Amino acid sequence: MASVSDSYFQQQLTVRKERLQAIHEHNGASAEISRLVAEVDAALARLDSGTFGVCEVCGGTIESERLIADPLARVCLEELPPEELRRIEADLEAAGRIQRALLPPQNLSVHGWEVHYRYEPVGHVSGDYCDLIVGDQSSGELVFLLGDVVGKGVAASLLMSHLHAMFRSLVTVRQPLAQMLSIASRLFCESTAAGQYATLIAGRADSAGHLELAGAGHPPGFLLRDAGVTRIESSGFPLGMFSEARFSTQCFELRAGDALLFYSDGVTESRNGAGEEFGILRLEQFAGNRRGASPADLVGGCFAELRSFSGSQPRADDITLMALRRTA
């Protein structure tokens, strides 16, 4: 995860103190408000002294994801008492359930398209983003999105939820695809800390087989036809990297049997025991050998290939795969 500047935490803590003071003025003094003001002041003092983010028990570094979620944190995870760790574990499990509830149906057949995806966080929550938004019968549209927020854990999952809400809103007002990404990038840039961004592939397909794609710094996708496999490169900057970023689209005509495969970089960056990456070439070769497979078989086969390649090596990143096939 990219580091977050001290100025970000200075701003966050100052805003919290102002809110506490406003509550104090409106409702009067209370022991809880006084305690929280004291904790905020202590955190601001740690920023001034250069000890913010340093564990007060072991002297190590407090996890950046925890600081973003709670800038008052003073102790790293390894030094928390068991009852606090159990509480955090329960909170993470609840967050994971909420995040899974945001996911679309895993199998979808609509408007002449068949879709299947797999979404596997490395922990309780994920920074990968996946959504399918179906238009009504008159529009015949299917919008699909697959993205990856920088970082891991709770902080990344919060940004993933942020993306989900933004695109669900933007799709309803029927923005052109490139414009939709430009708006999302500006909103993401203005509402997140410096250094936080997301890669994304967004597509809009219709019942006639027309497909429009826009990419924001995401790994290349694959178009699978009888004649072979074509890489679909992403030309735009990641969302949130530049406030005024502009995006372009690519258009394709898909016939019955043509398919698409998209993924997060946790797939290609998976490693085996020797430290070798799975890599894009290996994924491209696999896709080429499975051109006639259904989306479910294509995604399931890829996961089997990854497991065979990685062996007992633990995963280091979230993994999402999505396959779409034209059926009519």
Say if residue 109's pLDDT is above 90: yes
**Greater pLDDT, 8 or 73:** 73
Q: What percent of the chain has pLDDT over 90?
A: 50
The confidence score (pLDDT) of residue 232 equals: 95
Span 132-188, pLDDT tens digits: 999 877 778 999 999 998 876 677 777 888 888 889 989 888 888 999 999 999 988
Structural element, H or E, at residue 148 = strand 141-149
pLDDT at residue 263, rounded to an integer: 96
What's the DSSP call for residue 78? G
d(Cα 211, Cα 205) in Å, to the nearest integer? Answer: 4
Q: Is the pLDDT of residue 110 over 90?
A: yes
Looking at residue 3, its pLDDT comes to: 45
For residue range 311-323, list pLDDT tens digits in order. Answer: 888 887 889 999 9
- 196 band by pLDDT with thresholds 50, 70 and 90: confident
Tell me the per-residue pLDDT of 256-303, one tens digit each, with 9 for 90 and over: 999 999 999 999 999 998 989 999 999 999 999 999 899 999 999 999
Question: How sure is the predictor about 31, in pLDDT bands with cuts at 50, 70 and 90?
Answer: confident
Residue 2 has pLDDT above 70, yes or no: no
Q: Identify the DSSP state of 236.
A: B
Residue 12, number of CB atoms within 10 A of its CB: 17
Q: What is the mean pLDDT of the chain?
A: 88
pLDDT tens per residue, range 205-257: 999 999 999 999 999 999 999 999 999 998 788 998 888 889 999 999 999 99
Q: How many angstroms separate the most distant Cα atoms in the chain?
A: 74
pLDDT at 178: 93
Domains of the chain by range and CATH? Answer: 6-80 (1.20.120.910), 103-326 (3.60.40.10)
**pLDDT confidence bin for 193, thresholds 50/70/90:** low
Confidence of residue 203 (pLDDT cuts 50, 70, 90): very high
pLDDT of residue 174: 81
Q: Which two tokens stand for residue 323?
A: 């396959």
Burial of 40 (0-12, 13-18, 19+ CB in 10 A): buried
